[in-house]
Amino acid sequence: MQKLRFDRADGRYVLFYAFDESLPAIVETAEQERGIDQVELRWNPVLAEQVIVSTGRQGRTFLPPAEHCPLCPTLSEDAFATEVPAARYELAVFENRFPSFRPDAPTVDDESALYGRMRASGRCEVVLYSPLHEATLSSLPESQVRHLVDVWCDRYGELAMTEGVSYVFVFENRGKEIGVTLTHPHGQIYAFPFVPPQVQQEQAAAFVHFQKTARCLQCDIVAEEIAGGSRVIASEQGFVAYVPFAARLPYEVYVAATAHRESLLELLPVERDGLARLLRRVQSAYDALWGFPMPYTMSMHQRATDGVQRAGDHLHIEFMPPYRTKDKLKYLAGVETGAGTFINDTAPEACAAELRASLVRAEDGR
């Protein structure tokens, strides 16, 4: 893997990753102005959690036509200048123009003893899976998804070493239903200055399990799913995909390391291969389910980077689709948003069976 860093005049970096080809040449274009919008963390004392206030995000490009896609290559000095200053690339990463966290976030003061503010320091990166505008994880060659896993490993490793980064959150929003504003295949990475609450809740549950059993919770879950099998969708070397026993949402899928791996960095090369294959297969199963690209959020959970050693950190990826049937969205309503308890209208075992059948259709139809 070769890597090239280019620093833009507006202070943001772009990283090019080359695997099969040489690194691309930079196409110099005029830089757009980039303002500092209000970006800060506000402490919500009622729930004891941080909220990101980032007003610049309102100005984001919203579903531009393909010829003005900011994630496609910049073809020449005179062509439309995208976020990627090169006429070609294999995989690329750049700092988000509309970040929730930024290294140069302004310093802030508390409003009162009750209302605390914190600097929104950190990084927000965009990860481009492919230069091809119409590609998806499952349509990309397996080698390209494998390279994506290598890029994730590189970003996790580098951001983990960055001063003040407590959590490296790798994720993808897919589909307009999720609020995606750009359709070009991409994911994101947020380098958080704190450990986000969902992760803290998982850490607390894993700690309780460890105290009781002296074992890793995710290792036990994976063993039980594989032994039972009714909720398993597919497996590859080092990873298994399954619908959780108590899935919050219909068609929710977890992809977990079958051996105890705290983060991407502990994966063996064959396990990186297995992860790439399984991610493609999960997306194939989703897309063949109802015959359209399934929207989802994909969230990767792994070891926090705040320097605290915790029992039970275990790499897994959570897919959350917003549909409960082919034409019905699952809305989060009062019981979910006001009481925090999810009502799942489907049986996880039935969803797993449907996804298994869907995967067979997808793979037979090739």
Does position 71 interact with Zn ion (CB under 5 A)? The reply is yes
Least Å distance, CB 31 to Zn ion, is 20
Torsion of CA 254, 246, 198, 275, to 10 degrees: -10
68 is catalytic: no
Q: Which of residues 189-208 bind Zn ion (CB under 5 A)?
A: 202
Query: Angle of helix 142-160 relative to helix 269-290, nearest 10 degrees?
Result: 120
Per-residue string for binding with Zn ion, 305-344, x by CB under 5 A? ---------x------------------------------
Measured from the CB atom, is 248 or 324 closer to Zn ion? Answer: 248
320-347 CB burial, b ≥16 within 10 A, e <16: bbbbbeeeeebeeeeeeeeeeeeebebe
**DSSP code of 336?**
I
Sign of torsion over alpha carbons 173, 179, 185, 188: negative
Least Å distance, CB 67 to Zn ion, is 9
3-state secondary structure of 351: helix
3-state secondary structure of 364: helix
Measured from the CB atom, is 237 or 290 closer to Zn ion? Answer: 237
**Residue 104 · residue 123 · CB < 8 Å:** no
Q: Which of 15, 18, 69, 86 binds Zn ion (CB under 5 A)?
A: 69
**DSSP code of 66?**
G
Per-residue string for binding with Zn ion, 228-267, x by CB under 5 A? --------------------------------x-------
Least Å distance, CB 357 to Zn ion, is 26
Q: Which of 93, 219, 234, 256 binds Zn ion (CB under 5 A)?
A: 219
Q: Which of 128, 191, 216, 234 binds Zn ion (CB under 5 A)?
A: 216
Least Å distance, CB 70 to Zn ion, is 8
**φ/ψ (deg, to 5) at 104:** -100, 30
Catalytic residue, candidates 147, 184, 186, 314: 186
Taking the C-alpha atoms of residue 204 and residue 183, their distance in angstroms, rounded to an integer, is: 36
User: Which residues are at the interface with Zn ion (CB under 5 A)?
Assistant: 69, 71-72, 133, 184, 202, 216, 218-219, 260, 301, 314
